[in-house]
Structure 1
Amino acid sequence: MLVVLLGVLTVLMLLAAALSYRAGLQEAGEMFDARLVQSSRVLLSLVDEPLSDLSAFPGDPIVLRGWHGQADGVGEALAFKDGHAYENKLAFQIWAPGGRLLLRSDSAPTTPMAALSPGYADVEIDGAQWRTFTLRSPQGRWFQSAERSDIRQELAEDIAVGTLLPLLFALPVMALVIWLTVAWATRSLRRVSNDIGERDPDRMTPVDDTKLPEEVHGLVRAVNELLQRLDLALARERRFIADAAHELRTPISAVKVHADNARMAMGDHDRETSQRLLAQGVERVERLVSQLLSLSRTERGVGRDAFRKLSLDAIVRSEADELKAMATSKHQALNVLLDHADVFGDEFSLGLLVRNLIENALRYTPRDGVVVVSTEQAGDRCVLTVEDSGPGIPAELQDRVFDRFYRVLGSGVDGSGLGLSIVQETLQAHGGQISLGTSDCLAGLKVVVSLPVGAP
């Protein structure tokens, strides 16, 4: 668009300048032609009738007859074989030292056109404004020439109009060319905007970036990347809703059954049993809903503006204190070993990560078991380790436990299968890593999490 506009405007400006230059030359030529005629007449008079003879001759002054008539037009239309139309707007006089008029043009009066003193003057002659110039020769003669002011105005106006008209005529042409050029250059943008505007909300295919100006390739790439992220987000939301609906169906059905049993129980023992099972079912639903909400938040990603430098020790200590009651109820030993480790991330998400790892260890460790949580600073990484004396996870199943809602069969522990999924989503947002293994000292599961100290 820039190349086309500059090229067309350059051609138009050159054309307008050429027309203006031609008009100026024409107007100036007209004036010079008239002056040339006057010069010829003066030269003729000086050659044929010397001024010395005129001074001695007491008769009337010599009058040089100029061209008189009506002429319209420009250029050659004002020039004739015997004169020029502008002659009657030019005048001259020659005066003897004694004040006698020796020679004049027929356009000049018989009285001095201005005071007989050297220099320029603006005077009024026969109701018209004239500009005069007076010159005195060494012999004492006065030479006066005059030019009507309206011819000056006329010439100035003709030159100005001749300069402006090509530009004024060029303006609408330039506007049309610019409009057509912009419309031509932006047709691909309109096609892209129409493509995006008419899209179905479920259509997330990339926008076609072929035949587009290079200047908008970055914009189209950004739109395509946004569509890709939206497609992933919508797919994640659809998968989350489907999984949540599937997982909530069973515990809610169980709660409904226990509620009906409690309402229809015939004895106190049956009613107490149904109420206890109902309370456990409600607790399970509550925990599942809480973990679903946590998973939804971690899947949507954590805003990087919320990241800051945190004390991993403080997070571990806070979460361990809240879970001590759970460990006490199972007569478990929850040991915490801290090593002044710092981490860069979101406090809430990292709290969920630590809580899920410790809670999973407590849930799958049998009564009177041991859970050890430790932190360690290792260069530009900090390491969180959670070990327990539970049954562990077979090596062939360690990759699958990160799938949502997956639970190891035969563990005998109720769970939602979301804990490690939340941990993995949080680590992806923080640039962390996780590995599963066997604890050397407790013989149970060993989970090692590595997180960056600085911004990932």
Structure 2
Amino acid sequence: MNWDAWHRLSLRRTLLAVLLPGMLAVVGLELWFTWRTAVDAANAAYDRSLLGAIKSIDANISTESGGLAVELPYRMLEFFELTASGAVYYRVATEEGLVEIGNADLPPPLLPLETGRPQFHDAAYFGEPVRVGSYARRLPRPLAGHEEAQRVVIQVAETLRSREQFTRNLVLQALARDLMLVLVAGGLLVLAIGWALRPLARLRQEVGGRSPQDLTPIASAGIPLDVQPLVEAINQHVERTRRLTEARRRFVDDASHQLRTPLATLSTQVGYALREPDPARLHDALRAVKVQLEETVRQTNQMLALARTDSAELVPEPLDLRTLAEQGTRAWWSEAQARRIDLGLDVPEAPVPVQAHAGLLKEALSNLLHNALRYTPAGGQVTVRVAAEGGAARLVVLDNGPGIPAAERARAGERFFRASNASQPGSGLGLAIVRSIAERHGGRFEVEPGPDGQGLSAALVLPLHAA
């Protein structure tokens, strides 16, 4: 069976295609049970009539003459034939069959008869189906030529026309009733499905009527509970798309904001160099162009890194924060030596497990170390510290540079924010990258005064992951 093609049907057709055959199958099963019940009811009713005929014949059995005699109740048998709508047969005989009265070839009972307990069974008599009732009792006195009293067997049989008509009428009535119920239930089912699917049609119209720029969440009011998880998933997808679109828009805005001035400066410097005849001044102009180009390249790289941080797919993995801090610190040792800065590492003995994206965390640590080494004067100290405190993992970079004024620390991590005491050129995106990475991992970025109130302590705080 092609389930994909089946699932491509509308919900209305799918429900009707599943429920209506199911209802018809239930009707068929119910008709079979009705037929069995009707047969049992007919047998119970008509078998009581058979037993009445047997008792009537039994009441007219006499052994006064020394033999077996029966005075048949003809009126009762005629009435029984009328109610049975067919022929009635009877047989009275001793158990060994030496004396028989009536239809001697009636089918015998299927099981041995118990004295005083009637037995009924279906059989065929001359090719015609009949219902046979059999009854046995012991005679009050032995028949002539016998020493002990014998049992007499009384059998009455009737054709099944009346029973079959009774059963047929019950089944036809049940069939008409069930078909009426199926029609009514089918109509109600169509109406109920149409009414239940109205919110989906309204939702389709609402979504289809939106403009391509409309990325607001879909309202879940009036939506069935079974469909709300789908609406929530669509809203999550819309929110991701909105964030991606917003990140792209911010990138374009950032690029136009940050690159316009450097490019204009470069154009001015190149024009000055082209007009400068003095080789010494030309060399100075080219050196200035190189510095400006390096700063522009760095700003461009930071904007690209921030765009990747905002929009890249986050696939966290378990890692030890100590190992990441050690690798990141080693990568900056040569830079620290060139600047004559003491770069140290302080990590605990026990692992500090986190669930994070290793590449993004390395990017955040690289930005923190770059800022710390850039603003710490020669002979200063920068320390990378890893700690597990209060159920959180902390990756901290400490320096004894100028720090950030207390009134401006709350703005640390904003895009293009630079402290008023900044002495080096920059774009103001380094800490913004760190803050974005922290928030994407469900953590936070904290900025505090450094040791003894001097310098800066920039911390990336992440949830501690239980291995």
Deviation at residue 181 of structure 1 after TM alignment: 3.1
Deviation at residue 46 of structure 1 after TM alignment: 3.2
Q: 1:152 to 1:360 in 2, by over 3 A?
A: same
Please name the residue that 1:74 is paired with: none
Matched, 1:317 2:332: no
1:224-279 deviation digits (Å, cap 9, x = unpaired): 56545554453343223212222122223444555566667666556545543443
How many Å separate the matches in 2 of 1:396 and 1:123?
109
Matched, 1:363 2:356: no
Matched, 1:446 2:456: yes
The Cα RMSD (Å) is 4.9
Q: 1:185 to 1:53 in 2, by over 3 A?
A: farther
Structure 1: give runs of 5+ residues left out of the alignment.
69-80
* Contact 1:23/1:163 (8 A) holds in 2: no
TM-score (norm 1): 0.68
* Contact 1:436/1:447 (8 A) holds in 2: yes
Please name the residue that 2:11 is paired with: none
Deviation at residue 352 of structure 1 after TM alignment: 2.3
Deviation at residue 113 of structure 1 after TM alignment: 3.2
SS at match of 2:306: helix
- Matched residue pairs, number? 411
Aligned-partner residue type, residue 90 of structure 1: V
Aligned-partner residue type, residue 46 of structure 2: M
> How many percent identity over aligned positions?
22
1:90-109 deviation digits (Å, cap 9, x = unpaired): 321346986574xx5xxxx6
Q: Indicate which of 50, 57, 60 corresponds to 1:46.
A: 60
Deviation at residue 165 of structure 1 after TM alignment: 5.7
Deviation at residue 291 of structure 1 after TM alignment: 0.7
* Contact 1:134/1:143 (8 A) holds in 2: yes
Please name the residue that 2:213 is paired with: 202
Please name the residue that 2:8 is paired with: none
Q: 1:379 to 1:420 in 2, by over 3 A?
A: closer
Q: 1:292 to 1:307 in 2, by over 3 A?
A: farther
Deviation at residue 335 of structure 1 after TM alignment: 0.6
Please name the residue that 1:434 is paired with: 446
Matched, 1:113 2:106: yes
Please name the residue that 2:398 is paired with: 386
1:93-146 deviation digits (Å, cap 9, x = unpaired): 346986574xx5xxxx6x643579986998754443446547576357663322
Aligned-partner residue type, residue 205 of structure 1: T
Aligned counterparts, 1:160-171, within 5 A: 166-167=177-178, 169-171=180-182
Q: Which moved more, 1:111-120 or 1:201-210?
A: 111-120
SS at match of 2:346: coil
How many Å separate the matches in 1 of 2:92 and 2:105?
9
SS at match of 2:416: coil
* Contact 1:134/1:144 (8 A) holds in 2: yes
Q: Indicate which of 154, 157, 167 corresponds to 1:146.
A: 157
* Contact 1:37/1:83 (8 A) holds in 2: no
Matched, 1:372 2:382: yes
Q: Indicate which of 330, 340, 346 corresponds to 2:347.
A: 340
Matched, 1:291 2:296: no
Q: 1:334 to 1:90 in 2, by over 3 A?
A: farther
How many Å separate the matches in 1 of 2:57 and 2:192?
60
How many Å separate the matches in 2 of 1:29 and 1:134?
16
How many Å separate the matches in 1 of 2:105 and 2:370?
122
* Contact 1:356/1:423 (8 A) holds in 2: yes
* Contact 1:67/1:85 (8 A) holds in 2: no
Deviation at residue 319 of structure 1 after TM alignment: 3.6
How many Å separate the matches in 1 of 2:130 and 2:235?
77
Matched, 1:247 2:245: no
How many Å separate the matches in 2 of 1:247 and 1:116?
109
SS at match of 2:428: coil
TM-score (norm 2): 0.66
Please name the residue that 2:91 is paired with: 93
Q: 1:411 to 1:93 in 2, by over 3 A?
A: closer
